[in-house]
Amino acid sequence: MSDAPRLRLPLHAHVAQLALLALAGFVLIALWTQWARQDLDWVQATLSLYLHGPWGLALRTAYCVLAVAIMLLAWSLYAASRSPRRSAAAPLLFCVAGLGLMGVAIGDSWLPEQAPLLAPLVHGLAANTAFLCVSVAMLLQSWYLRADPQWRRWAGPAWWWAWLCFALLWLHVLWRGPPRGAGQKLVIAAVVLWLVVAALQSWRQARRTAVAAACRD
């Protein structure tokens, strides 16, 4: 009986796996805080309000985990892409978005007590930077991947989903009618879903390539 072919996954596939685990960790902690914090109305309260009080440290940590996931995914997608449109713009924007998330988490850890007047400004600047940079990065990345033969089938839906996230973000900013908490969480959920599918697709593409190489050997 012949031995099964040994798969040799490239580094970017393992990085995509780490990004998936980090994204899953963020989702689980975010969902847990929604259930555990009975003092907040999840429809009205934005996710940032959960950064303080019970489970606040866990959610701030989850923000940093999400930031790391975004940076890892940015590198994985850049390394995996063979698109002629590929550039450093998308991964740089993803990394700035990750730094913005870390700014929210770290700033909300001590600024409200040490500099209460400065804290809202830092939080708003960091959060807006994260939202804007990640949404634009998703659009750029999807556009790059549409020119990559390996990604073309997935890149089309990813392109339109990125536009949906971009539209939802600006709708949340400009339209004050819907509940603020539900609106913000819808934007976050849409963005995280794009990131999860992108990381999964990056890993699957690498695995298919590795399986084909193993079979040839």
State what percent of residues in the chain have pLDDT above 90.
68
For the segment 186-204, the average pLDDT, to the nearest whole number, is 95
DSSP 8-state code for residue 195: H
How does the average pLDDT of the chain come out, rounded? 90
What six digits make up the tokens of 70? 């975004």
| pLDDT at 170 (0 to 100) | 95
Q: Is the pLDDT of residue 188 over 90?
A: yes
Burial 11-20 (b: 16+ CB within 10 A, else e): ebbebbbbbb
Angle ∠(164,101,31) on CA atoms, nearest 5: 70
Largest Cα–Cα separation, the chain: 71
Neighbouring residues of 187: CB distance < 8 A, sequence distance ≥ 6: 131, 165, 168, 169, 172
Residue carrying structure tokens 């794009």: 194
pTM of the model: 0.91
pLDDT band at 90 (very low <50, low <70, confident <90, very high): very high
pLDDT band at 207 (very low <50, low <70, confident <90, very high): confident
Where does residue 39 fall: left (phi above 0), alpha (psi -120 to 50 degrees), or beta otherwise?
alpha
Least-confidence region, from 69-78, 80-89, 101-110, 183-192: 80-89
The more confident residue out of 171 and 5 is 171
What single-letter amino acid sits at 180?
Answer: R
Q: Is the pLDDT of residue 209 over 80?
A: no
Neighbouring residues of 65: CB distance < 8 A, sequence distance ≥ 6: 22, 25, 26, 29
| pLDDT at 97 (0 to 100) | 97
Q: What is the CB neighbour count within 10 angstroms for residue 23? A: 24
Residue carrying structure tokens 């003092």: 39
